[in-house]
């Protein structure tokens, strides 16, 4: 494989038909976080606005809500200054009753599609992406979760 092929593969954005990539990240409690083979929906927030949408729904649900929906959630905090992440963001996220995968290195989320202030909802069937939606408000996210 040539160097140009490697660069292209690393910078391509996930699309319908792709297999969801393996990720080596931790949750807010520094425990390994993963997308299991039975996951049906991945929620990804790449901005503070998207994170607010997800948390507005999940804060009203129980600790087992995401797993009951075969859904996982991860958030890209890489653009946040490290001091703010360590001092404020992660400590407040540790109080959440559900697991959140945490991206601290922006390269770990480059392949994930995103729109400004929208939650990326990636639908899976046996690890293969079947649909990608951009969710811009809590009501739309709740409707997606209700269908799971």
The residue ranges of every structural domain in the chain are 14-147
**Can you give the pLDDT at residue 82?**
82
**Can you give the pLDDT at residue 9?**
43
Query: In whole angstroms, what is the distance from residue 134 CA to residue 122 CA?
Result: 9
Query: In whole angstroms, what is the distance from residue 54 CA to residue 93 CA?
Result: 13
Instruction: State the Cα torsion 106-111-117-118 to the nearest 10°.
Output: -150
> To 5 degrees, how large is the angle CA 119–CA 123–CA 129?
115
Tens-digit pLDDT string for the chain (148 aa): 334 333 434 458 999 999 999 988 999 999 999 999 999 999 999 998 999 999 999 988 988 999 999 999 999 998 887 878 888 888 888 988 899 999 988 888 889 999 999 999 999 999 999 999 999 999 999 999 999 8
Q: Determine contact, residues 21/98, Cβ cutoff 8 Å.
A: no
Q: Determine contact, residues 111/12, Cβ cutoff 8 Å.
A: yes
The arrangement of secondary structure in 14-147, i.e. its CATH architecture, is 3-Layer(aba) Sandwich (3.40)
């Amino acid at each position: 494989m040539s160097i140009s092929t490697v660069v292209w593969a690393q910078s391509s954005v996930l699309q319908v038909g792709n297999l969801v990539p393996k990720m080596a990240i931790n949750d807010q409690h520094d425990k390994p976080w993963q997308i299991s083979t039975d996951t049906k929906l991945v929620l990804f927030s790449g901005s503070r606005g998207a994170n607010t949408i997800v948390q507005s729904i999940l804060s009203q649900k129980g600790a087992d809500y995401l797993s009951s929906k075969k859904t996982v959630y991860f958030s890209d905090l890489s653009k946040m200054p490290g001091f703010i992440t360590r001092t404020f963001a992660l400590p407040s996220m540790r109080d959440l009753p559900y697991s959140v995968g945490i991206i601290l290195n922006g390269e770990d989320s480059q392949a994930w599609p995103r729109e400004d202030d929208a939650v990326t909802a990636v639908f899976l069937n046996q690890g293969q992406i079947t649909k990608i939606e951009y969710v811009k408000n809590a009501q739309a996210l709740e409707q997606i979760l209700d269908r799971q």
